[in-house]
Every structure is written in structure tokens, then in C-alpha cells.
Chain A
């Protein structure tokens, strides 16, 4: 059956809920016609089916939201695991690297602890302290000695050495200071001579000081045999003033 435009329009208005009161009556009248009724039902069925289809497609899409989340969870987990493994590997490498760096640092540190001969000398050497010289008679010699001691005290070893030597006193104490001034000014041979003179004296304390300084002079002059002999002599005497120092020096070597 071919429907008129008016009938077609009635169906469309019904589908879109746009029927006026008059058109509703006309629509209901037409619905008595089976063919018209069938056409309405067909159109509704087609549109209903299309709407169902659209809803079904949307529902499929909605269901993918959940599967996307599940998939994401599944993919994220292994990634996280891989990352952990990766980090583990890196940690291993990092640990090896840290150990290597530590080893190098320890090596460098230990290298640093292996002191040079100069450093050993510097560690062992200590300037003999300046003492007050008391003499009853304030003569010219006393004045020079006082001046020399002042120079010594002030670290002016070259000038002090000159003044001490000018005294020409052959005194173990003065000779000790001359020897120390010689050491301070790197005149080790001169120092050795003066310390030897002190060692030959009877002044026990000053003698032990000279023995210690002699050991250092031998070390500086690389006189190995004399150095070892002098060091052992001090070490054999626990009561020696420089026993502890000698022991330290031996261990450092």
C-alpha cells in the first residue's frame, strides 16, 4: 500500500511524540486499517532495532573499558616487575661500581699513608725547645748567647747558628742548639758533627737528644747503616727520652 504524505506525516509525528489532539484522533482512526498499523509497527520495529543495535554497540564499548583496565593492570604489573629486575641489575652494577670506587679510594688512601722520606722526617722531627740560659755573670758571651737564643726562639735559625758558632764555647747545650739550627737550615753534615760532639759529652739528657737528632740526620742523609744502628740503640733503651718517638719511626718505616 502506498501511503499519502499526510499519513506518512502522521506516523512521523507519532514516532516523535508530536501529535496534536486532532492528529491523534486521525492517527487512531488510521490505526483501524491493518496496513497502516503494520506500517507503524514496521517503522517502530526498525527504529527500535536500530536503537537496540546502537545500545549494543555502546555496551560493547563500555565493556571494553573494564577489559582495558584489566589489560592495563596486567601490562603494568609485568612492567613494574621488569622495572624491578632492571633496577636490581642496575643496583648490582651500582654496587660493583661503588666497590670499585671504594677500592680505588682505599688504595689511594693506603698510598697516601705510605709516607715519603721527607714526610717521615717531618713527622719525626721536632725542633728542640729553647730554654732559658742562666749565668751568674752577664758578660759579652752571655749577651751573645741570649741574643742567639732569642733568634732561635723566633725561628731565625741561620742567624742563631752564626751567633751560636761565634760563641765557640764547646758546650754540649750550645752544640746541641748549633746542631738543631744546622738541621733547620738543611746543613745536615754540620749538624751531624755537632751532635757527635754532644754524644761524646757526659751530659746524659742532652746526649740522648743528640742521639735522636743524629738518627734523623742519618735518615735524611740516607746513611742507612748509621741510621739503623742509631735507631736500634735508642730502641734498646726503654728509658731513653726518645724511645716512643723511635718506636713510632720504626713502625712508620
Chain B
């Protein structure tokens, strides 16, 4: 039994949840309980693991709730049948991002949370949008930005993704980490300073500004060279 199994069983025992074996081959991994609670400490530990790139607990949650969430979506949103697994995967990404960003401090039921996210994604036509995309839409709406066709937009997005990735990887490892922590994980400067062993949050802020300017500069250079 690995640590994620122990974690899951701890939950199951703690909540006196209904545990039923799904598959004899996978025992604890395939068990499921109807109510999975996570305390503040547990979410904190989960967050630390996710920031460190450890997804074992996420895997446990995936295995525990995938079938139920997909079945729920298939019943409630028959039109989303083909994408229900995709929606569940997106819900898991939302869960990951919200935990990492500190938007979730505890769960009374992880399963209920995932189902709610799945429902919201379904209502938004199964599309997982990040905050930056939402802001671009906002700018497009309020400041009459260019309006491309969706195909061109998709191509542009792919191009931008490749360029941005290339630009980010061209930076120092510290810059990559600080940008990821600040912009993607939405971590506070104080925490970033602690994690990166910097003397203060101000130092981290200065470093972040320099790194981000370098990133944008690099992206612009790449865009110029490719256009």
C-alpha cells in the first residue's frame, strides 16, 4: 500500500464513509466513499505536494470519484456524454489549481466539490478557461479589441503557447519557478520568498518583475522573428 492509499483509507475511516470495493485487483485504490472530508491541515499538505509536483493524492481522488462523476454527468447532461470524461479531467485541473492557489482551504466533500465543478463546466459548454483568457475576453468586450474567427484564434493560441513555453524555458530556473509560483499558482510573495529561500518578499517581488519583463521581452523577440 503506497502513501496515497493510506491517505485515502485514512479519509474513509475518519469519515466513516461507505467504502465498497470496486475491483479486487486494486483494493484500496478502487474503493470509494460517499463523503470525503479534508481538513485545513490535509488540504495544506495536499497543496504542498501539488506544488512539489507530487500528484499521488490527485490520482487517488481521480480513481475514487471518476466513475461516479462521469455517471452523474451522463445522467444529468446526456448531451455531454462523449465529453464527460474530459469534463471530469478538467474538473480535476480546477481542483488542482484552486488548491495550489489557496482558494480552497478545506473540503466537506471532495466528491461534491468535483461534481459542482463538473456541472459548472457543463453549463459553460465544457470549456475550461483560465483567468487570463477571461481578461482578454473582457478587454475584447470593453476596449473593442480585434475579433478573429475561432479557427484563427485557436491557431494563434497554439502559436502563443509554443512561443511562451519557449520563452519561459529560456529563462533561468529561478525565474521559471518564480513566474510559475506567482502567476500560475498565485502564491503570495512572502511564501515565494520562503520557498525560494530569498531574504524577503520585496526581494522576491523585484526578482519577479525582472523575470516577467525578461519573459515578455523574449516572447516579443520570438514573435518578431517568426512574423
Q: What is A's interface to B at a CB cutoff of 8 Å?
A: 8, 12, 14-15, 31, 37, 39-56, 58-59, 61-63, 65-66, 68-69, 72-73, 76
Contact = CB atoms under 8 A, between A and B. Distances in A.
Given A45-B164, A52-B130, A62-B62, 12 more contacts: A37-B143, A39-B216, A42-B216, A44-B136, A44-B139, A46-B215, A46-B219, A50-B161, A50-B165, A50-B180, A51-B132, A58-B93
Interface in B159-218: 160-161, 163-165, 167-168, 179-180, 183-184, 209, 212-213, 215-216
Contacts of A54: 180, 184
Given A62-B92, A76-B25, A50 B136 contact: no
Contacts of A65: 58-59, 62-63
Given A31-B139, A54-B184, A45 B160 contact: yes
Contacts of B97: 55
Contacts of B160: 45-46, 48-49
Interface in B2-21: none
A61 B161 contact: no
Contact of B157 (A31, A49, A62): A49
Interface residues of B, number: 44
A53 B164 contact: yes
A149 to B, nearest CB: 81
Interface of B: 25-26, 29, 55, 58-59, 62-63, 66, 89-90, 92-93, 96-97, 128, 130-133, 135-136, 139, 143, 145, 157, 160-161, 163-165, 167-168, 179-180, 183-184, 209, 212-213, 215-216, 219-220
A73 B93 contact: no
A50 B135 contact: no
A44 B212 CA distance: 12
A49 B89 contact: no
Given A59-B93, A65-B59, A48 B139 contact: no
A39 to B, nearest CB: 8
Nearest to A31: B143
Given A47-B132, A50-B179, A73-B25, A41 B184 contact: no
Contacts of B168: 50
A41 to B, nearest CB: 6
Contacts of A56: 161
A252 to B, nearest CB: 60
Nearest to A60: B89
B183 A47 contact: yes
A4 B63 CA distance: 50
A4 to B, nearest CB: 13
Nearest to B182: A16
A73 B59 CA distance: 16
A48 B132 contact: yes
B32 to A, nearest CB: 14
B143 A48 contact: no
Nearest to A62: B89
A40 B132 CA distance: 10
B143 A62 contact: no
A48 B93 contact: no
Nearest to A52: B161
Closest 4 CB pairs of A and B: A48-B132, A49-B164, A51-B130, A49-B161
A59 to B, nearest CB: 6
B222 to A, nearest CB: 10
